[in-house]
Chain A
Amino acid sequence: MLKINGLKAEINGKEILKGLNLEVKPGEVHAIMGPNGSGKSTLASVLAGREEYEVTGGDVDFQGEDLLDLSPEQRAGEGLFLAFQYPVEIPGVSNINFIKTAVNEVREYRGLPNLETKEFMKLLKEKQQLVELSGKLANRSVNEGFSGGEKKRNEIFQMAMLNPKLGILDETDSGLDIDALRIVANGVNELKTKDNAFVVVTHYQRLLDYIVPDFVHVLYDGRIVKTGTKELALELEEKGYDWIIDEFKETV
């Protein structure tokens, strides 16, 4: 589904990703961990198409398409979804209009007709329930005045509405209390099928108790330096990253 090959990217002339390789197949959940500044969020941003980052090398294949050649909206249309680390507040745009516009634009991209209002409302209710998002938030401006937990649940809600092939969660767990974390994780687990995949970027092993990954990757200095199973996350929690960094430095 997703094949990243030797990806290099920089921002303001500073190289952050230095030749990153990753392959994600349908039905898989990949966790990406790593110390601060290792390039985790950069990877998520580059995949979603954030323009501040300049890709200087490598390629990314997403379901047979050259992902890096697509605009952010085309990537979403193709089925890529980024749950933002810091969801953006948009005054004056109601949450419900926002998601309705998004759903219909994505449908248009996929050659589908707009959803009838009735169908849309049904879908909306169902997905709001999935992440226990209050219906009251629908008429509020996007993320404006939302609590931290509400913002993150709103991200998962949007993901559920858009039903992507590949969901990238960029530190969605940061700052969440245990209840909110459980709700968010539960939302992801409900959305998981054998045809879609998730890349979960996180600082904390805690999230992986709820969203169980098939693979855990350690990102360091712009490269994936170790890959393992969920046990690796536990080991990281216990021992930190230094041993992996030392191991990596020895091999270089």
Chain B
Amino acid sequence: MATLTISDKERFLINQEGQDFSHEAKTFIKIRELALKNLKELDFPTNKLENWKYTNLRGISKIEFRPQSAINIIAAKVKAHKIPNLDAYTLVFVNGFFSAEFSDTAEEKDGNFVVTNLNTAKKKFIKFVEPYLGFQTRAKDQFFVNLNAAFSQDGAFVYVKAQQKLDKPVHIINLVDGDLVAAYPRNLIIADKLAEAQVVVSYETIDTASALSNVVNEVFVAEGAHVQMDKIQNENGNTYHIGADYAVQHKDSTFTINTIPANGKLIRNNLSILLDGTGCTANLNGAICLNGDIHVDNQTYVDHAQPNCDSNELYKAVVNDQAASIFNGKIYVNKIAQQTNAFQSNANILMSDDAKANSKPQLEIYADDVKCSHGCTIGQFDDEALFYLRARGIKESTAKKVLLEAFIGEVLDNIKIEAVRDYASALIAKNFNSKN
């Protein structure tokens, strides 16, 4: 008698089913169908894959995560996750579902910009959404990106018309509430020609004993446009976070992304930037300060597809307790991308014997007239500097704080919104202390 066995992946996918997307326009249903088709061929990445060498997902594939809309969210619990003193258009998502009650959507009278949820935009602004949504994420081989494409419930939609500037930052708050939640928020941010936008995306937890946040951010930066994005990951210690950020930049545009993975159980970030026009600047920064047994894995990919572009990458990590920080940064310079300036730096400080850091810079250069550099360091606390401060009467605890703040501060200085910088600094300062 034949026995029917079912793989972890198949069971996992079955658990994600049952959502009704039939109300969506055909073009969007097609994206989901394609993703489902890809998922048939794919599986959870294993350590055998070079880019997943240090991050093991066996835990996730066995857990019965399911999409769940949250019920009875108390206002105070949402408010607790706002960033103090941040004046912004706020969009709140709970378990990946839009929470209109706690959000302020905005549509400028003249249509200069739109800040709303993606489901609304899919109906009302289909001509803006259609050319962009899923454009960058047709990556057939990315299990989690396809998972998000297939099952995403909602997300933020930000559109800034040509030559316009968003008068306030947009703050997208993603909350998780409930046990065994699988949340698939997906944001789409479009800055048209010469437009400007600042977007803050934060991931936080109301309460959960076990959750999966599988998120995708797609950013389009048109000719001469400027987009700054700050991504703060502050979920509880029971949450797996698998994120993918994609940006496409056109001629003379600037895109800056500051990533602050502060809390969670496991965080994986895949950041991919395509410099698809001449004269672009991309800035990628990561401020990582970890304690407890969190595992954080940042993978970055900058594709210099066109000449005369700059990319500046700075990731710094302070790792305490049994925490682990992985960095894998790849810079690809196409053979036509002459006069490329690509700089990458990754510095790590290990604060305890059990803390771990892995750093893998990769340069792949096919043009011959470029300036590229990369450097990585993994070291201990600077004892000489510590003694110098103490010899001047500064307590050991204060001295350590001063030195760590200086180390990470270089990254945080890139966050232009003061309230966000303060919020990130506070999260980091808290993690300087051991949890043991």
Q: Mark A residues whose CB is within 8 Å of B.
A: 48-51, 71-73, 75-77, 81-82, 84, 87-93, 97-99, 101-102, 105-106, 109, 141-142, 158, 162
Contact = CB atoms under 8 A, between A and B. Distances in A.
Given A50-B387, A90-B385, A105-B398, A158 B392 contact: yes
B424 to A, nearest CB: 16
Contacts of A102: 389, 392-394
Contacts of A51: 383, 387
Contact of A72 (B391, B407, B409): B391
Given A90-B403, A92-B407, A92-B410, A105 B394 contact: yes
A62 to B, nearest CB: 14
A101 B403 contact: no
B177 to A, nearest CB: 38
Interface in B230-248: none
Q: Taking each of A72, A81, A82, A101, which has the highest tally of chain B beta carbons within 10 Å of its own beta carbon?
A: A72
Q: Which 6 A-B pairs have the closest CB atoms?
A: A92-B406, A76-B393, A106-B393, A102-B392, A72-B390, A88-B388
A48 B390 CA distance: 10
Contacts of B385: 88-90
Nearest to A164: B393
A51 B405 CA distance: 24
A81 B392 CA distance: 7
B353 interface: no
B419 interface: no
Contact of B394 (A50, A89, A101): A101
B384 interface: yes
A201 B383 CA distance: 23
A101 B141 CA distance: 53
Given A75-B391, A92-B409, A101-B398, 7 more contacts: A49-B390, A76-B393, A84-B388, A91-B406, A105-B393, A105-B394, A106-B392
Contacts of A91: 406, 410
B406 A73 contact: no
Contacts of A87: 388
Contact of B395 (A105, A142, A162): A105
The DSSP consensus for interface residues of chain B is helix
10 contacts: A73-B393, A73-B394, A77-B393, A88-B385, A88-B388, A92-B405, A99-B392, A101-B394, A101-B398, A106-B392
A93 B406 contact: yes
A63 to B, nearest CB: 16
Contact of B391 (A82, A97, A99): A82
B402 interface: yes
Interface of B: 383-385, 387-396, 398-399, 402-403, 405-407, 409-410
Contacts of B395: 73, 105
A71 B388 contact: no
Contacts, number: 73
A2 B359 CA distance: 50
Contacts of B387: 50-51, 72, 88
Nearest to A90: B385
Nearest to B384: A88
Contacts of A73: 390-391, 393-396, 399
Contact of A93 (B383, B393, B402): B402
Given A91-B406, A105-B395, A76 B384 contact: no
Contact of A76 (B391, B398, B405, B406): B391
A98 B393 contact: no
A72 B394 CA distance: 9
Contacts of A48: 391
Contacts of B396: 71, 73
A158 B388 CA distance: 12
Q: Taking each of A91, A97, A99, which has the highest tally of chain B beta carbons within 10 Å of its own beta carbon?
A: A91
Contacts of A49: 390-391
B415 to A, nearest CB: 16
A91 B384 CA distance: 13
A109 B393 CA distance: 8
Nearest to A159: B392
Contacts of B406: 90-93, 141
Q: Taking each of B383, B385, B392, B405, which has the highest tally of chain A beta carbons within 10 Å of its own beta carbon?
A: B392
A181 B203 CA distance: 57
Q: Taking each of A77, A93, A99, which has the highest tally of chain B beta carbons within 10 Å of its own beta carbon?
A: A93
A49 B390 CA distance: 9
A162 B388 CA distance: 14
Contacts of B405: 92
A162 B410 contact: no
Contacts of B398: 101, 105
Contacts of A76: 390-393
Q: Taking each of A71, A82, A87, A88, which has the highest tally of chain B beta carbons within 10 Å of its own beta carbon?
A: A88
A33 to B, nearest CB: 23
A109 B395 CA distance: 10
A72 B390 CA distance: 6
Nearest to A50: B387
Nearest to B408: A92
B388 A90 contact: yes
Contacts of A105: 393-395, 398
A90 B392 CA distance: 14
A162 B399 CA distance: 17
Nearest to B407: A92
B183 to A, nearest CB: 37
Contacts of B409: 92
A134 B32 CA distance: 65
B425 to A, nearest CB: 13
Nearest to A91: B406
A54 B394 CA distance: 22
Contacts of B407: 92
A43 to B, nearest CB: 15
A65 to B, nearest CB: 15
Contacts of A89: 385
Nearest to A88: B388
A75 B405 CA distance: 25
A50 B390 CA distance: 10
Contacts of A97: 402
A98 B391 CA distance: 12
Nearest to A97: B402
